Amino acid sequence: MKSMLYKSFSHISRIIQGIGPFRTLPKVRQSFVYENVLGTRLELGFYTTGTKPDAVVEKILAETDRLEAVFSRFKPDSELNKWLTSGAARVSPDLGWLLETSELWRQRTGGAFHPGVDGLTRLWQRAETSGAEPGSQEILALLEPLKESFVHLKGERATKLFPEGLSFNAIAKGRIVDLAAELGADIAEEIVLNVGGDLRHIGSKTLKVDIVKPGKVADNSQSFLTLNISNQAVASSGGAVRGFKIGGRHFSHVIDPRTGWPVKTEVAVSVIAPDCATADVLATAFSVMSPKESLELADSLETVGCLIMSADGEKLSNAYFDRHIA
């Protein structure tokens, strides 16, 4: 159940998943914060000239509810879960977009992004419980299907090709933020929507977004740089001190779908992109890829900025990201 924490003009004071509080824009009349939206916190800012603020909020929340019923892996009756159960079915344009776009990103990232990685994560969770590292044959059995397409699309019909479950959390939330923000922008100006660290701005003015130090998300004072964005999105990934402890060794919780093993060097990543779905999926992929691979892919996309931060404080970024530093 959604709960509105507060409604205010002055500020929104929560730092979430590497993105700091968005600062009040000139003429922004309303700010809202809701808890329990897509399992996290929703922050919304905008200004209107004639539309009642509540109408904007209702439109955005209704769209998040609608899309959650399509994309959720946590709702048994979601369209995604029904499709996964059936294995083949006609799908809505929204689910079709998610499947097609996810497959394109699987290919473009060389498999660093893959919706089927959850099977490997569960394998490593079981290994932590047993105290023994997974065997090479166990990993290989899960790894082989990850090298191929997971879906076949023909018209409105989608056929699942992957033998295990699929999860699209690394792109679905960003897509929901995009579509909800776009609907809000139909009746309001300078929309700023932040859902669990996936932030989208739609407007002509410049928005300042704070990036916080990895592992310091509980303290607003720990932001270490500010970005200037306009009509763009920002998403962050990684930097959490989590992982698997197996036989006295620590392994990262981030699994590389290309190898089946946890990444050796855990990094925190922030991405600027034209839309939140792109920023979301690339933040996940760049957490797996080497810094060199990540920066090269970001540069090839022309309108994508990438910042990679290691645990020892080293920072690598491309020129597009640097141009957005305030």
- Distance, in Å, from the CA atom of 77 to the CA atom of 79, rounded to the nearest integer, reads 6
**How close are the terminal C-alpha atoms of the chain, in Å?**
38
The distance from CA 205 to its chain's CA centroid, rounded to whole angstroms, is 24
Residue 320 has a pLDDT of: 98
pLDDT band at 266 (very low <50, low <70, confident <90, very high): confident
89 touches 269 (CB < 8 A): no
Taking only the tens place, the pLDDT of each residue in 278-325 is 999 999 999 999 999 999 999 999 999 999 998 788 899 999 999 999
Residue 22 clears pLDDT 80, i.e. is over it: no
Q: Residue 282 is which amino acid?
A: L
Residue 19 has a pLDDT of: 53
- Distance, in Å, from the CA atom of 115 to the CA atom of 311, rounded to the nearest integer, reads 26
pLDDT band at 1 (very low <50, low <70, confident <90, very high): low
Residue 258 has a pLDDT of: 96
Residue 10 has a pLDDT of: 32
What does the buried/exposed string (b/e) look like for 30-58 if buried means 16 or more CB atoms within 10 Å of the residue's CB?
A: bbbbbeebbebbbbbbbbbeebebeebbe
**Average pLDDT of the chain, as a whole number:** 89
| Nearest Cα residue to 57 out of 190, 193, 158 | 193
- pTM of the model as a whole: 0.89
- Higher pLDDT, residue 212 or 131: 131
pLDDT band at 213 (very low <50, low <70, confident <90, very high): confident
- Higher pLDDT, residue 48 or 83: 83
Residue 283 has a pLDDT of: 96
Residue 242 has a pLDDT of: 73
Residue 9 clears pLDDT 50, i.e. is over it: no
Residue 2 clears pLDDT 80, i.e. is over it: no
pLDDT band at 241 (very low <50, low <70, confident <90, very high): low
Report percent pLDDT > 70 for the chain.
Answer: 87
Residue 48 has a pLDDT of: 82
Residue 125 clears pLDDT 80, i.e. is over it: yes
- Distance, in Å, from the CA atom of 79 to the CA atom of 191, rounded to the nearest integer, reads 28
Taking only the tens place, the pLDDT of each residue in 59-107 is 999 999 999 999 999 999 999 999 999 999 999 999 999 999 999 999 9
Cα atoms found within 13 Å of the Cα of residue 89, Cβ hemisphere only: 13
pLDDT band at 6 (very low <50, low <70, confident <90, very high): very low
Of 27-31, 113-117, 278-282, which gets the smallest average pLDDT? 27-31
Residue 21 has a pLDDT of: 53
Count of C-beta atoms within a 10 Å radius of residue 248: 6
Question: How many helices (H) does the chain have, and how many strands (E)?
Answer: 9, 16
Q: Residue 29 is which amino acid?
A: R
Extract the tokens encoding 166.
């699929």
Tell me the backbone φ, ψ of residue 76, rounded to 5 degrees.
Answer: -55, -30
Q: Residue 112 is which amino acid?
A: A
Of 1-5, 144-148, 237-241, 301-305, which gets the smallest average pLDDT? 1-5
Q: Across residues 224-228, what is the average pLDDT?
A: 92
Greatest distance between any 2 Cα atoms in the chain? 63
